[in-house]
Amino acid sequence: GAGVSQSPSNKVTEKGKDVELRCDPISGHTALYWYRQSLGQGLEFLIYFQGNSAPDKSGLPSDRFSAERTGGSVSTLTIQRTQQEDSAVYLCASREVNNEQFFGPGTRLTVL
Amino acid sequence: DQQVKQNSPSLSVQEGRISILNCDYTNSMFDYFLWYKKYPAEGPTFLISISSIKDKNEDGRFTVFLNKSAKHLSLHIVPSQPGDSAVYFCAARGYNNNDMRFGAGTRLTVKP
């Protein structure tokens, strides 16, 4: 089906390395969201895109985190100099105006 | 900041009985509330929502109740089925606010 897809599904990296996570939203969805879920925690909002611009970056936990979206479609979330506390499932969601969000399957990031 | 709280990390019920999942919020600016269901290794999927102008919304076996004065909502599932076993997330959003705040989730187990 044409749902939200994310890659990779799993990523294991060493502390200090950079990682890049990808999200392909549902075609035509203008809004795109990144969340993360740490062990035992709820879904933590990271950043929101409307088209290619990010009007709300308030959830990014540090300047090591950045995200971009090109062509109003694919988005990448980059984490530089990863730390063990970055280990989590990173979820992407997209939505049309006034509709609920549709989530991807997530990327499980493990920082050793 | 925990603006949305689900104080029960887990709930176990017998098949056929009612499941009641609870959620509390602190931000009075929230005016739209949603429940998402999450199976392991999958992203959350939308289940049911309610606007602050209503106090009840029903969809088949699922009913969401909203008590604005108490800043409390609940999800009722009746009759519960083993396939309902999943983690349920409560979420809230303010008018014209594009990010949603999620609770920590409640793991529901329905025993046959």
pLDDT at A82 over 80: yes
**Quick one: pLDDT band at residue A26, thresholds 50, 70, 90?**
very high
Q: What is the pLDDT of residue A56?
A: 78
**Rounded Cα distance, B29 and A111, in Å:** 37
Q: Both tokens of residue A8?
A: 């990779």
Q: Name the residue in chain B with its Cα closest to that of A4.
A: B43
* Residue A77 phi, psi dihedral angles, 5° rounding: -110, 125
pLDDT tens for each residue of B81-108: 999 999 999 999 886 666 778 898 999 9
Q: What percent of chain A has pLDDT over 70?
A: 97
Q: What is the pLDDT of residue A2?
A: 77
Interface membership of A50 toward B (CB under 8 Å): yes
What are the beta bridge partners of residue A50?
A31, A53
Per the model's pLDDT, the better-predicted residue between B57 and B101 turns out to be B57
Q: What percent of chain B has pLDDT over 90?
A: 79
Q: Provide, as residue numbers in chain A, all residues whose Cβ is less than 8 Å from the Cβ of B9.
A: 40
**Rounded Cα distance, A76 and A62, in Å:** 16
The overall average pLDDT reported for chain B is 92
Interface membership of B89 toward A (CB under 8 Å): yes
Q: What is the pLDDT of residue B98?
A: 67
Q: Provide, as residue numbers in chain B, all residues whose Cβ is less than 8 Å from the Cβ of A26.
A: none
Q: What is the mean pLDDT of residues B24-30?
A: 92
Q: Name the residue in chain B with its Cα closest to that of A57.
A: B99
* A41: three-class secondary structure by DSSP: coil
Q: DSSP letter string over B37-78?
A: EE-TTS--EEEEEEETT-SEEEETTEEEEEETTTTEEEEEES
**Quick one: pLDDT band at residue B1, thresholds 50, 70, 90?**
low
Interface membership of B100 toward A (CB under 8 Å): yes
**Rounded Cα distance, B90 and B11, in Å:** 15
Interface membership of B1 toward A (CB under 8 Å): no
Cβ–Cβ below 8 Å for A91 and B98: no
Q: What is the pLDDT of residue B40?
A: 85
pLDDT at A84 over 80: yes
Q: Do A61 and A49 touch, CB atoms closer than 8 A?
A: no
**Rounded Cα distance, A45 and B5, in Å:** 15
Instruction: Kindly tell me the sign of the dihedral angle through the C-alpha atoms of B20, B68, B6, A101.
Output: positive
| DSSP3 helix / strand / coil % (chain A, rounded to 5) | 5, 50, 45
